[in-house]
Structure 1
Amino acid sequence: MATSTLRDRVALVAGATRGAGRGVAVELGAAGATVYVTGRSTRGQRSEYDRPETIEDTADLVTAAGGHGIAVPTDHLEPAQVRALIERIDAERGRLDVLVNDIWGGEKLFAWDTPLWEHDLDDGLRILRLAVDTHAITSHCALPLLLRTPGGLVVEMTDGTNAYNRDNYRVSFFYDLAKSAVLRMAFALGHELGPRGATAVALTPGWLRSEMMLDAYKVTEANWRDALKVQPHFGISESPAYVGRAVAALAADPDVARWNGQSLSSGQLAGVYGFTDTDGSRPDAWRYLVEVQDRDLPADQTGYR
């Protein structure tokens, strides 16, 4: 993608410390955007994840990629902090073209295949706050600035497409509800933003090779295929750059309004916009999941990347 594609655009990637958020921020930077990156893990203080990735590191990667990265520590459950963030963007840039709501933080809170009545209630309710309240608070504060310039884009990051989540149980009551709610947010925002000249979409990566996922399999991005010895279906996985390129393609599309209110995936958009993952492939994880993995067929990515 040409580095000048988004040269005059200003983006906010909320929840950009690691994973998909970092991938999105860096690829927006590679397209030339100014990118504000937020989160709770900084070089001075870690979040409860207690991981080494920081928003300052993400901002540096954005700048190194060709954009301008700006790290702003923000707890998106705190409206006052989010309002201060938006006021800063307004004061410094006077506009906001792209809002990516990637705030999450629930990986250590949900219990797989545990019914509602056996799930820790406090953990479950915090999942909903982290997945739903953060997105609503951020959009409430940011959208007046985004709407000031015609053609704005809101990307609600989630896990799963509308069709997949409608027909499949997603590991627990709270996780299922959290990820499905974000899909509905994009649908609702599409109705509210479309008539006002902006676009909202939901976007999901496939099986993401986030820092946490790589650590879980005891591999790195350089040797991630070694994890196939443990989980052969991991061959369909994708780097965070892949979904980042999907967002950059949407942001650069003058006809992005055609997607308003829809649920999209990185693999789907790669087929439309022609971008690839870092290895030159185009993994289509959600089609693979339905047609191979969920049918308990042997792992075989042929035709899916």
Structure 2
Amino acid sequence: MTEQDRPLAGRIALVAGATRGAGRAMAVELGRAGATVYVTGRTTRSRVSEVGRTTETIEETGELVTAAGGEGVAVPTDHLEQDQVRALVDRIDRERGRLDILVNDVWGADHLLDVAFARKLWELDLKEGLRMLRLGVETHVVTSYFALPLLIRNPGGLVVEVTDGTAETNSAYREQFFYDLAKYAPLRMALGLAEELKGSDCTAVCVSPGFLRSEAMLDTHFEVTEENWRDGIAKDPHFAISETPTYLGRCVAALAADPERHRWNGRSLDSGGLAKEYGVTDVDGSQPDSWAYIGRVTAGEEADAADYR
């Protein structure tokens, strides 16, 4: 494998929230590009988080990173526990002496949604709503608080906030009060961190996948596998524009390897746009542009998903 195949060789990354989905894929693709990747999450082979899924573990993510050609280091971490996050960053500093890439992907609140999209704020469970904000917002703040002093020690660091939707697509209300706040917050975090990082030669961005075929989306919502995912189109025609987690993973790896990535500082980016910028494709060779398609559909216009792949 050539240096061109491993543009992130020697880089140290932390992907917070890498047990499954986009977090796992970003970790694996950063590893494939040569990075050493510390991966965190709450579900281990001996303990299941409140998400309740047993089929994916953080240890497995670490092994997948290594199998892809990087070095995966699994560190079970609850990012609401400040002592755990501090210990995580201290370990990275002790073992590597640097941090080049921080990906804030912690979420783990899908189980709090259920039918809540049909309810007003005052009809929701307040405890569950506040828990969603803690999981989707506080975790990112805590992680950045402890990790950024290590990241800025060397020039060229990258912070990637992850959410669902860009600043443009999140300009409309996301139907549920707490979900709307949780998904908009990372956009503001990227904007704020771009200001906070001035003078450090570091970059902060926010990225979003499109219609993501995560493990839970496949087996729980559509009762399909990656192999027969198109069967899910019968249940929801818009599933035709969906993309694998690998797509965003490849985009983030390309972004991290871009020596001119600072031009994106403070911006919100989506997989479809990044794919076009960097020539990235999904595993089937297509380039899904979910948000462009969704924008047409939301506006009440006719759109064929095939035209956006």
The reply to whether TM is greater than 0.5 is yes
Secondary structure of residue in 1 paired with 2:15: strand
Q: How far is 1:295 from its partner?
A: 3.6
Secondary structure of residue in 1 paired with 2:106: coil
Match of 2:63 among 50, 60, 63: 60
Q: How far is 1:303 from its partner?
A: 2.3
Q: Which runs of 4+ in 1 moved over 4 A?
A: 296-299
Q: Which amino acid aligns with 1:57?
A: E
Q: TM-score by structure 2 length?
A: 0.96
Q: How far is 1:3 from its partner?
A: 3.4
Q: How many corresponding residue pairs? A: 303
Q: What is the 5 A alignment of 1:14-53?
A: 14-51=16-53, 52-53=55-56
Match of 1:103 among 103, 106, 129: 106
User: Over the residues paired in the alignment, what is the CA RMSD in angstroms?
Assistant: 1.2
- Asked if structure 1 preserves the Cα contact closer than 8 Å seen for 2:293 and 2:303, the reply is no
Q: What is the 5 A alignment of 1:130-169?
A: 130-166=135-171, 168-169=172-173
Segment of structure 1 superposing worse, 2-11 or 249-258: 2-11
Partner residue of 2:78? Answer: 75
- Asked if structure 1 preserves the Cα contact closer than 8 Å seen for 2:296 and 2:302, the reply is no
- Asked if structure 2 preserves the Cα contact closer than 8 Å seen for 1:162 and 1:183, the reply is yes
Secondary structure of residue in 1 paired with 2:39: strand
Q: How far is 1:112 from its partner?
A: 1.4
The alignment status of 1:204 with 2:208, answered yes or no, reads yes
Q: Where does the alignment leave 5 or more consecutive residues of structure 1 unmatched?
A: none
Partner residue of 1:186? Answer: 190
In 1, Cα distance between the equivalents of 2:260 and 2:299? 37
The Cα offsets for residues 43-102 of structure 1, whole Å up to 9 and x where unpaired, read as 010101221200001011101111000100000001110000000001111110000000
In 2, Cα distance between the equivalents of 1:194 and 1:157? 21
Q: How far is 1:229 from its partner?
A: 1.1
Q: What is the 5 A alignment of 1:267-286?
A: 267-286=272-291
Match of 1:222 among 220, 227, 234: 227
Q: How far is 1:296 from its partner?
A: 4.5
The alignment status of 1:260 with 2:262, answered yes or no, reads no
Identity %: 63
Q: TM-score by structure 1 length?
A: 0.97
In 2, Cα distance between the equivalents of 1:263 and 1:21? 17
In 2, Cα distance between the equivalents of 1:242 and 1:267? 9
Secondary structure of residue in 2 paired with 1:195: coil
Match of 1:117 among 111, 119, 122: 122
Q: Which amino acid aligns with 1:244?
A: G
Secondary structure of residue in 2 paired with 1:162: coil
Q: Which amino acid aligns with 1:146?
A: L
